[in-house]
Structure 1
Amino acid sequence: TGPASPLPQAHRMAFRTALSLRAGAAAGAALARTPPLRSAARTPARCLSVSASLPSSLRSREELGVAAAIANVKGRSRAKFDETVELAVKLGVDPRKSNQTVRGATQLPNGTGKPVRVAVFAKDADADAAREAGADVVGGEDLVQEIQKGIIEFDRCIATPEMMPIVSRVARILGPRQLMPNPKLGTVTKNVAVGVKELKGGQVQYRAEKNGIVHAGIGKVSFTDEALSENIRAFMIALTNAKPESVKGKYIQAAHLCSTMGPGFKLDIKAVDPSSPRFMM
């Protein structure tokens, strides 16, 4: 038997095409079985840099005023749940320096729209006052033991000054979760009733990360534009008042607004700078 005759060129091309299609189909099937990666657009902490990772059709090409940014964020919301509206602000600080840390808490006039479970370390009359104010968990030694077992069924934590020696025993657990009571945040207080009501009434905490970015949930997509605007105003005033004295240069350097699952929109810096005549325009 002589050697097999070579396939005509047209047949070879058809054969290669079939192989390519088969390989593409296999790759597509594998991709379909792979869990989707979490997009930067869906991470509130990355609201500032999300535009760079988006398709050009979704990128914010200009700096927007507050009203326009709110309208765009709400207009791009496609999730089947009430997304949180996130504000991310890049500050001209170096948090690695002890005199340039930015951390605090402020009350939003229209709340955050998110239910907050509050735990209180207190005893006797203070414990009773905390319960009457609506605290979800109240305790002392028993609460410490639950935390040590990994039972943490609360979002925020308050303690009276006298309870701090007990709380310090679980500092390594609460600290990384940003749940450790702190006098600077008003969560170490003698008036636990007021503390509970503030936390449940719309208080938001903020802290500059190592890259100088501060982010906070300032409401829900379901909020009215006016309510979101009022919350942004209150937050930016509080953030400006928290400016360290050692910071001499430009404090507010960039700001973006986004929803939990949506793209970020760049804000006009002057529109979110309380010292500017165009503030909130």
Structure 2
Amino acid sequence: MSRPSKRTRDNLQSRPNEPLPPMEAVNAVKQFKAPKFDQTIGVVVHLGIDPKQADQALRGSIALPKGIGKSARVICFCQPDKVDPVKAAGAIEAGGEELVNKVKDGWFDFDVAVASPDMMRVVSPLGKVLGPKGLMPSPKAGTVTPDVESAVKEYSAGKQEYRNDDGGNIHCIIGKSSFSAEDLAENLTYFIDTIEKIRPASSKGTYMKKCVISGTMTPSVQVAV
């Protein structure tokens, strides 16, 4: 097993031991010795839900107020008259059965798939290949919608889909290390508030058990929630 680098050891020594308010947690992450590239800053919340219960499964989408510093490659399954408008909105590919066949043949060079409701009849067979990759369009995530142009524009600009994993955790990007502490803290607070608002009615006990933020190659810091 390789020995941690000096930078990693120094960062672990300076990491706070107690949960911190959002702004202080962000400042702690930004003060770590970081690699030369612009790190992605992410958040993970561990929730007191039972992921096996359908009424406690959480899934949705979120557009953070300060963006996330990156764009997404979006495709759109739509009728012919929508192809040009959605491409103008930012879609890298758009179409109907021909796009479905392209994906069936193994093309997955995209991050988000959007579809209009009337296209789901031809898109649904892709569930077996897109579902396991988390790319299947879904009404809950806002990726199945009549307003495909707006959806493409929002996801291209960094809107994110989220869902809980089998351990009851939700992951989300809140920005880049080059963001100001104020912008990162605003995004973090917005994310926490959003997750609080979607608490399932059947969830008992402590809902938000733990929240941590971290950079791509720096330690995590616990956030007080």
Q: TM-score, normalised by structure 2?
A: 0.91
Say whether residues 1:100 and 2:47 are aligned partners: no
Question: How far off is 1:194 after superposition?
Answer: 0.6
- Residue in 1 that maps onto 2:17: 61
Find the counterpart in structure 2 of residue 75 from structure 1: 31
- Deviation (angstroms), 1:213: 1.0
SS in 2 for 1:231: helix
Q: Does 1:161 align with 2:108?
A: no
Runs of 4+ in 1 over 3 A off after TM superposition: none
Shift of 1:58: 5.2
Q: Select the residue among 255, 258, 261 that pairs with 2:214.
A: 258
Partner of 2:168: 212
Q: Which has the higher contact order (CA 8 A, sep 6+)?
A: 2
**In the alignment, which residue of structure 2 is the partner of 1:122?**
78
Q: RMSD of aligned C-alpha atoms?
A: 2.1
CA distance, structure 2, for counterparts of residue 56 and residue 256 of structure 1: 15
Provide Cα deviations, 1:213-266, integer angstroms capped at 9, x if missing partner.
111111111111111111112211211111111113211111111011110011
Change (3 A) 1:77 1:195: farther
CA shift for structure 1 position 124: 2.0
Q: Distance in 1 between matches of 2:112 and 2:25?
A: 30
Structure number with higher helix proportion: 1
CA shift, 1:118, in A, is: 0.4
Gaps of 5+ in 1: 1-30, 40-53, 270-281
Aligned partners of 2:11 and 2:124: how far apart in 1?
A: 47
Tell me, yes or no, if the aligned pair for 2:80 and 2:95 is still in contact at 8 Å.
no
Contact 2:11 2:219 in 1 (8 A): no
Structure 1 residues 124 and 171: CA distance shift in structure 2, 3 A:
same
Amino acid at match of 1:83: Q
Does the 8 Å contact 1:60/1:264 carry over to 2?
no
Question: Percent identity between the aligned chains?
Answer: 38
- 1:72 deviates by 1.6
Aligned-partner Cα distance in 2 for 1:113–1:164:
31
**Separation in structure 1 between the aligned mates of residue 176 and residue 115 of structure 2, nearest angstrom:** 29
Task: Provide the residue aligned with 2:177 in structure 1.
Answer: 221
| Gap runs ≥5 in structure 2 | 5-9
Distance 1:173-1:58 versus aligned 2 partners, 3 A rule: farther
- The residue type equivalent to 2:129 in the other structure is I
**Per-residue deviation, residues 164-200 of structure 1 (Å, max 9, x unmatched):** 1111121111111111000011100111111011112
Q: Is residue 100–residue 244 contact of structure 1 (8 Å, CA) maintained in 2?
A: yes
Distance across 2 between alignment mates of 1:126 and 1:211: 39
Which structure has the greater CA radius of gyration? 1
CA distance in 1, matches of 2:11, 2:36: 22
> Is 1:170–2:122 an aligned residue pair?
no
Q: Match of 1:146, as an amino acid?
A: K
Counterpart code for 2:35: A
Secondary structure of 1:184's partner?
Answer: coil
**Equivalent residue for 2:7?**
none
Question: Cα offset for 1:77?
Answer: 4.8
The one-letter amino acid of 1:62's match is: E
**Structure 1 residue identity aligned to 2:49:** V
Structure 1 Cα separation of the partners of residues 122 and 37 of structure 2 = 39
In the superposition, the TM-score normalised over structure 1's length comes to 0.74
Task: Indicate if the aligned counterparts of 1:83 and 1:261 stay in contact, CA closer than 8 A.
Answer: yes
- Give the one of 122, 129, 136 matched to 1:180: 136
